[in-house]
A and B are shown apart, each in its own frame.
Chain A
């Protein structure tokens, strides 16, 4: 079956602009996670959803970042007033559930965001 998909694959924007990054999880997966990966680093957790609700948004760096998952499937990560420091690869992962002992997170291809 289809894996996790993310669009766009690349996004170049100017400082101060608004961007939306989309994630389409594996069908049937109720848990969805967003991570951010800077060059030379491992992915860092941003937020996760169990169904439609954001169960943990403790990793969002500030209030310019927001994410939604209105129907419990596709999720959108929204960044307002982008800054150069927001440049990174944004990864989405999905899992059959959140917190089950052996559930595996499957990653999408990522969106590379560049803020000029």
Chain B
């Protein structure tokens, strides 16, 4: 079992809808999670991180963490075609120098 798992998609949503991206993890040593967005042919860019149980909001993005269920999600409200990209979930192993363990990424397509 991979340490961080994501549904590879593609996930298709209409413009203006809420996109929900999910991630599960197996290593309880991962206490913080980062969401990165990656456009085709580009490097990952940070969207947000979360380390406390509950919700964290930043603009149109909300990250949710449930440590008991080992589940992380990212909600994108009012989805735009420019949000079409691959979204990478990564757990941080602080006892190993902060290295990131990535899921395989979920491809999101927002249709106009």
CB within 8 Å of B: which residues of A?
31, 33, 35, 40-45, 48, 50, 55-56, 59, 91, 93, 95, 97-110
Contact = CB atoms under 8 A, between A and B. Distances in A.
Given A102-B51, A107-B44, 14 more contacts: A31-B98, A41-B105, A43-B44, A44-B102, A45-B100, A50-B97, A98-B97, A99-B95, A100-B98, A104-B34, A104-B49, A107-B36, A108-B43, A110-B43
Interface residues of B, number: 27
Contact of A106 (B42, B46, B88, B99): B46
Contacts of B94: 99, 101
Contact of B44 (A55, A56, A91, A97): A91
Interface in B31-82: 32, 34, 36, 42-46, 49, 51
Contacts of A35: 100, 102
Contacts of A100: 98
Most A Cβ at <10 Å: residue of B88, B90, B99: B99
A18 B100 CA distance: 28
Contacts of B8: 40
